[in-house]
A = this chain, B = another copy of it.
Amino acid sequence: MSPTHTEVTVAPADLDPCGHEDHPDCGIRDVLDRIGDKWSVLVIVELASEPRRFRELQRAIDGISQRMLTLTVRRLERDGLVLRTVYPTVPPKVDYRLTATGASLTHLVKTLADWSVTHRPVIAEARHQYDQAHPDLDIRSA
């Protein structure tokens, strides 16, 4: 880590992984880079109803490690989607809640979930068909 460097991080082109703005693509990748990872949405969903403490989140989100929860909430905090509040008590208490921006994401997430529920059977069937038709081919491990 060696935190002793005064150099100002310029952070150029931080939000623009792809080169051209005229394409409608870029915005999408941007959101997905934010919530497309393994845990972010689950944290957001969990915080949608009410603020949660660190351990509460960890217990609520099945399978997440301490490390990943920390990383996930830190990133969400950095992006201004989650507000982190530290109460200087002993033992320490920290809670997390959605900011206004973060809360606006819950609608989006709901839309995603709805789509999934609606189309899940069709997709499952499509997969089944495909795997029947291509028994030798294995996409998953390719």
A56 partner residues in chain B, CB cutoff 8 A: none
A105 partner residues in chain B, CB cutoff 8 A: 115
A contacts with B, residue count (CB < 8 A): 68
Q: How many copies does the complex hold?
A: 2
In the complex, A29 Cα to B116 Cα: how many Å?
9
**In chain A, residues 48-95, which have Cβ atoms closer than 8 Å to a Cβ of chain B?**
61-63, 71, 74-75, 77-81
- Flag if A130 contacts B27 (CB, 8 Å): no
Contact bitstring A89-117, B, C-beta under 8 A = 1, else 0: 00000000000010011001101111111
Return the chain B residue nearest A48 by Cβ.
B24
Q: How far in angstroms is the closest Cβ of chain B from A42?
A: 5
Q: How far in angstroms is the closest Cβ of chain B from A31?
A: 4
- Flag if B63 contacts A18 (CB, 8 Å): yes
